[in-house]
């Protein structure tokens, strides 16, 4: 007789699903990039903006506020002129950045395979009339 292990799988369709909640935060266009950059250490707003091609000042602000709200990033305002604001990962953010680092490695390793699959699919796909 063999033992069967029952694994509880969150109901992804439920609004209170923890996986869905986290993916809503980090699954947007910019959050993973910001978290990955901050895994290298504290950065200023302008350093983040310069490091992320295509992000607007507004979108970086919105992204950082969301990450700060979720406890993944801290914002430190220094009382100097001109104003200086630093961003850093919290302990919670650091733990997530380890997972993101694995995703980055996976993406870099497998991107050629994904591109090959896309080309193959596009060649064989039937074009609608």
What's the pLDDT score for residue 2?
56
pLDDT score recorded for residue 21: 79
pLDDT at 96: 94
Q: What is the pTM of this model?
A: 0.76
Q: What is the C-alpha to C-alpha distance for residues 40 and 55, in angstroms, rounded to an integer? A: 19
84 CB-side CA count, 13 A:
7
Share of the chain above pLDDT 90, in %: 65
113: left (phi over 0), alpha (psi -120 to 50) or beta: alpha
pLDDT for residue 31 = 96
Q: Which residues of the chain have pLDDT under 50?
A: none
């Amino acid at each position: 007789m063999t033992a069967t292990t029952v694994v509880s799988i969150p109901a992804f369709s439920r609004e209170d699903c923890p996986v869905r909640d986290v993916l809503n935060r980090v699954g947007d266009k910019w959050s993973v990039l910001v978290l990955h950059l901050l895994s290298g250490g504290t950065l200023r707003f302008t350093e983040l903006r310069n490091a992320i091609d295509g992000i607007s000042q507004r979108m970086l602000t919105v992204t950082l506020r969301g990450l700060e709200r979720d406890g993944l990033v801290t914002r430190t305002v220094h009382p100097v002129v001109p104003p200086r604001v630093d961003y850093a990962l919290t302990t919670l953010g650091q733990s997530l950045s380890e997972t993101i680092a694995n995703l980055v490695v996976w993406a870099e390793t497998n991107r050629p395979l994904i591109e090959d699959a896309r080309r193959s699919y596009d060649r064989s796909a039937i074009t609608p009339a």
